[in-house]
Structure 1
Amino acid sequence: MTFRLTWTQPEDLVPHGLRAAEDEGRHTSRIRERWLAAGGSVEPPVSGASDAPASANLRSLARDLLDELDTLPVSGHLSDTEPEIPVLASPVAAASTTAVRDRVRGAWLGRAAGCLLGKPVEKIPREGIRRIAQSTGNWPISSYFTACGLDPAVGEQYPWNRRSRGTSLLENIAGMPEDDDLNFPLIALTILEQHGTGFTTDHVAKAWLDNLPGGRVFTAERIAYRNLLDGYAPLDAGGHRNPFREWIGAQIRADVYGWVLPGRPEEAAELARQDAMLSHRRSGVYGAMFVAAAASASLTADGVDDVLVAGLSVVPPQSRYRHAIEVGAELGRSGQDTETALDALHSEFGHFHWVHSLNNSALLAFALTRSSRSHTEGDFAQAITTAVTGGWDTDSTAATVGSLCGGLLGAEALPSSWTNPLQDRLASSVPGFDGISFDELTDRTVRLQEKFGMKSEDGAE
């Protein structure tokens, strides 16, 4: 079998590139016709790579067409409403100005638990997740997934994520396994410890090259990584032949920027923007800024609504990203049953790839607001299980939902059935972090809060 590296082969990027360009209002018909006439496919490979390599001629054409797609102008409306470098809105007042250690620890544990729940069913469609859960007596989802009792026919039709089965099914969990949704927060922590809040996108690029194996970055991050090695400047690396520029990758890197600046959402969003610009554009950047601002508020606010308001305060008001959050939040407050509301979400956002930022962010807002109907600060179990029930990027979306809900509630309030299996231990491919405890991560985060100056009641530092 020929080895195929995912998310980088030019012939596999063209279908994704066509869709990304069309989402931005670019006119792609001429490029699409040339690609089809040459024998190329316009169906993006779901797993990131097609079964066989293209001919040398088709691959050469693919590179040329990707370059042409980069030069097409975006629609005038998008240029006006979604700037590549957004201007931050006015600060949002938090309900409290004192972040306690327990809430930081809750955010770390919540992120891990949500990620762990979603890991084995990543890439499995919503219907498959339901059938697996029903087959194992876990529907509605109320615990980590298990293979015990799984109907072999269901398992064959919907195989577990192959990288995760041995470490993320209930019977196999022994601490939090390695995952990019936790690796990137560790990288962010390292950047802040080394460079403080004055870091730049250049520092982020160096941190990746120094600490991340190329095989542990995916989609937009893999493209940016490749472009860095090819000599592109960090601020240019995310804009070259990158059809994943509006996907979820930058959004999973942003929590720590909010945790170290509790109650300061606009400052947290600026740090996230510096990070996100290495690999993403527009919705991909807004998602990172939204999460950083929301994470900042989660440590000081009283409830989910305050967190969402803080997140939206740094997002362009007429952007597609804001619309996605507002749709998800409205459905979460609507009183509709879960499946009916999820049907509506999938009807509006189901055409996006399962790793895109817009569909996953709408689901994020839905899961949070639905969980807050009975508890203002969110019902942790309901929040993360709803996020996974909705499908798409299950581990990433549930990780962010778990982070925000965990920050609001604090570690002591999180159900032990979700936190005990983590065994206060995190595996990682990031040097110096493998086996680290969540207690130590909490301590290091709190030290950064102190270093960067938590604000007092009168606004002084």
Structure 2
Amino acid sequence: MSAAGAVAAGRPRGTAGGLRLTWVQPEDLLPHELAASGDEGRDVTALADRWAAAGGDVTAPVSGASPVPAPPALRALAVDLLDAADALPGPDSADEPDDLDAVRATWPSAWDLPTTVERDRLHGAWLGRAAGCLLGKPVEKIPRHGIREILTATGRWPLRDWFTARGLPADVAARWPWNRRSAPTSLAENIAGMPEDDDLNFPLLALRVLETHGPGFTSAHVAQAWLDWLPAGRVFTAERVAYRNLLLGLTPPDTARRHNPFREWIGAQIRADVYGWTNPGRPDRAAEAAWRDAAVSHVRAGAYGAIWVAAMAAAAPVAGDVDAVLDAGESVLPPGSRFTAAVREARALGAAGDDWESIVDTLYARHGHLHWVHVRNNAALVAAALAYGRGDLERSICAVVAGGWDTDSNGATVGAVTGALTGAARLPGRWVAPLRNRLASSIAGFDGIGFDELADRTLALAHGSLA
């Protein structure tokens, strides 16, 4: 069809060649905004009715873009309704504060954790993060029952090894296609080092921010680092919206608040580990740093996920067991928030039983209404897997990846905690050797870097934080 024909058919000019940007088109953002506002307790009934009456789909696209772009008039209405949603009064709950001072007011005055960290533990954290991420990459976006069907068909259920396409029946492969960006480099038969992933790109960027600006960096420093070093095509959901907002001239924290229905999704949670590793034994310092990073793109629970992971990452390289790590993470959370309740309940479930499938069934009953990239459901799954895995890397990452939702991000977080608890020298070779001490990245200066060098640079920053 010609460009004129595309316009006549109601498609905006420029889409005829198949380009369909995810996570930023107004008609795709609006259904997510209706869900996000509803979850926050705001009444968006009138907005939803206007959208549906105009022919808009109130069902949010699972993968970030609806199949067909909206006609210009419908897209314009989506923009108006997003503006209207932004103008609605925010959630009024003291249990879920949106500023660091209010969150910090509930923190303990001290933590009973060592502050001396060994390089081997930091090395283990990097390796564990990569291994867990790599395990989850090929099945990202595949639902839990699809993951089980793949594993059963290839004789690998329950999950205890890398995914493989060998022996996978054609009908199962067609029903549950691998993540097309990941499968070529993340299946057992193809692994040759750690391929690029946003779950590793963001820790690399945090390392660069700390090396450049020191522990007193600001949210503006983080935003500038994105623009200087992070390709726009390598960010998704809230980060892609915030990146767009930066290009529109907004600054943090406004970048997290304009037309951003993903503000309480998982993105900031995957960016926080380095802030913990460089503040060993100090969950407070780690959480404060993670909050400043999160403020570029997230609010409330989106930021709680970041400080929770940062606090656990501060404890994991110096703690003696996973309970101390989970205690540290919970200590920085607003005690009355839904996020806190979710991770505490999930931790109790994971610690109390050995029937992982039953545990995950309960989590899905509680949180299955949330999008697979939301922060609460994924944090609950992480907490349960850490408690269930009892510090063992293989048991923990296999459990969390088999649980579905955001498989690579959750695998990375769980792998980082258990890798730090274990230390590089004691990690199982079959999970570490395929990484080949090599990490691919589109961030300049990091492509092909070794995990040993990353451990050295992280240790230098950790020593500096204690000086």
Is the 1:260–1:452 Cα contact (8 Å) retained in structure 2? yes
Query: Which residue identity is paired with 1:245?
Result: R
Aligned pair 1:430/2:430, yes or no?
no
In the alignment, the residues of structure 1 paired with residue 339 and residue 80 of structure 2 have an alpha-carbon distance, to the nearest angstrom, of 30
In the alignment, the residues of structure 2 paired with residue 93 and residue 17 of structure 1 have an alpha-carbon distance, to the nearest angstrom, of 38
Query: Which residue identity is paired with 2:205?
Result: I
- 1:278-293 alignment runs, 5 A limit: 278-293=296-311
The one of 68, 85, 99 equivalent to 2:84 is 68
Match of 1:82 in 2: 96
Q: CA deviation at 1:336?
A: 4.9
Q: CA deviation at 1:269?
A: 0.3
- 1:13-24 alignment runs, 5 A limit: 13-24=29-40
In the alignment, the residues of structure 2 paired with residue 381 and residue 44 of structure 1 have an alpha-carbon distance, to the nearest angstrom, of 34
In the alignment, the residues of structure 2 paired with residue 451 and residue 361 of structure 1 have an alpha-carbon distance, to the nearest angstrom, of 30
Query: Which residue identity is paired with 2:263?
Result: R
The one of 118, 131, 141 equivalent to 1:113 is 131
Match of 1:314 in 2: 332
Is the 2:385–2:397 Cα contact (8 Å) retained in structure 1? yes
Structure 1 unmatched ranges of 5 or more:
373-377, 454-460
Deviation per CA, 1:328-362, whole angstroms, max 9, x where unpaired? 10110122511111110001001000000000000
Structure 2 unmatched ranges of 5 or more:
1-16
Aligned pair 1:51/2:67, yes or no?
yes
Q: CA deviation at 1:95?
A: 3.8
Aligned pair 1:404/2:417, yes or no?
yes
Q: Sequence identity, in percent?
A: 59
Aligned pair 1:241/2:259, yes or no?
yes
Deviation per CA, 1:237-256, whole angstroms, max 9, x where unpaired? 01000000000000000000
In the alignment, the residues of structure 1 paired with residue 124 and residue 351 of structure 2 have an alpha-carbon distance, to the nearest angstrom, of 25
Is the 1:94–1:297 Cα contact (8 Å) retained in structure 2? no
In the alignment, the residues of structure 2 paired with residue 98 and residue 83 of structure 1 have an alpha-carbon distance, to the nearest angstrom, of 33
Match of 2:283 in 1: 265
In the alignment, the residues of structure 1 paired with residue 163 and residue 78 of structure 2 have an alpha-carbon distance, to the nearest angstrom, of 40
In the alignment, the residues of structure 1 paired with residue 136 and residue 342 of structure 2 have an alpha-carbon distance, to the nearest angstrom, of 21
Query: Which residue identity is paired with 1:48?
Result: G
Query: Which residue identity is paired with 2:341?
Result: H
In the alignment, the residues of structure 1 paired with residue 302 and residue 257 of structure 2 have an alpha-carbon distance, to the nearest angstrom, of 12
SS at match of 1:198: coil
Q: CA deviation at 1:74?
A: 3.3
In the alignment, the residues of structure 1 paired with residue 305 and residue 268 of structure 2 have an alpha-carbon distance, to the nearest angstrom, of 7
In the alignment, the residues of structure 2 paired with residue 420 and residue 326 of structure 1 have an alpha-carbon distance, to the nearest angstrom, of 34
Q: CA deviation at 1:438?
A: 0.3
The one of 431, 434, 439 equivalent to 1:418 is 431
In the alignment, the residues of structure 1 paired with residue 454 and residue 53 of structure 2 have an alpha-carbon distance, to the nearest angstrom, of 54
Match of 1:457 in 2: none
Q: CA deviation at 1:94?
A: 3.7
SS at match of 1:446: helix
Is the 1:92–1:310 Cα contact (8 Å) retained in structure 2? no
- 1:124-139 alignment runs, 5 A limit: 124-139=142-157
Query: Which residue identity is paired with 1:81?
Result: D
Match of 2:56 in 1: 40
Match of 1:222 in 2: 240
In the alignment, the residues of structure 2 paired with residue 91 and residue 126 of structure 1 have an alpha-carbon distance, to the nearest angstrom, of 41
The one of 107, 112, 116 equivalent to 1:98 is 116
Distance verdict in 2 for CA 1:444–1:91, change over 3 Å = farther
Q: CA deviation at 1:234?
A: 2.2
Deviation per CA, 1:130-165, whole angstroms, max 9, x where unpaired? 011111111111111011111111110000000011
In the alignment, the residues of structure 2 paired with residue 304 and residue 321 of structure 1 have an alpha-carbon distance, to the nearest angstrom, of 19
Is the 1:146–1:170 Cα contact (8 Å) retained in structure 2? yes
In the alignment, the residues of structure 1 paired with residue 155 and residue 329 of structure 2 have an alpha-carbon distance, to the nearest angstrom, of 36
Q: CA deviation at 1:180?
A: 0.3
Deviates more, 1:32-41 or 1:88-97: 88-97
In the alignment, the residues of structure 2 paired with residue 92 and residue 434 of structure 1 have an alpha-carbon distance, to the nearest angstrom, of 39
Is the 2:47–2:81 Cα contact (8 Å) retained in structure 1? yes
Coordinate RMSD, CA, aligned: 0.9
Match of 1:153 in 2: 171
Query: Which residue identity is paired with 2:25?
Result: Q
Match of 2:21 in 1: 5
SS at match of 1:8: coil
Match of 1:354 in 2: 372
Match of 2:12 in 1: none
Is the 2:311–2:328 Cα contact (8 Å) retained in structure 1? yes
The one of 220, 223, 226 equivalent to 1:205 is 223
In the alignment, the residues of structure 2 paired with residue 25 and residue 193 of structure 1 have an alpha-carbon distance, to the nearest angstrom, of 41
SS at match of 1:90: coil
Aligned pair 1:166/2:184, yes or no?
yes
Q: Give the length in aligned residue pairs.
A: 447
Query: Which residue identity is paired with 1:72?
Result: L
Aligned pair 1:446/2:459, yes or no?
yes
Is the 2:30–2:82 Cα contact (8 Å) retained in structure 1? yes
Q: CA deviation at 1:96?
A: 2.7
Match of 1:256 in 2: 274
In the alignment, the residues of structure 2 paired with residue 183 and residue 333 of structure 1 have an alpha-carbon distance, to the nearest angstrom, of 32
Deviation per CA, 1:224-275, whole angstroms, max 9, x where unpaired? 0000000111221010000000000000000000000100001000000000
In the alignment, the residues of structure 2 paired with residue 291 and residue 184 of structure 1 have an alpha-carbon distance, to the nearest angstrom, of 14
SS at match of 2:253: helix
SS at match of 2:94: helix
Match of 1:375 in 2: none
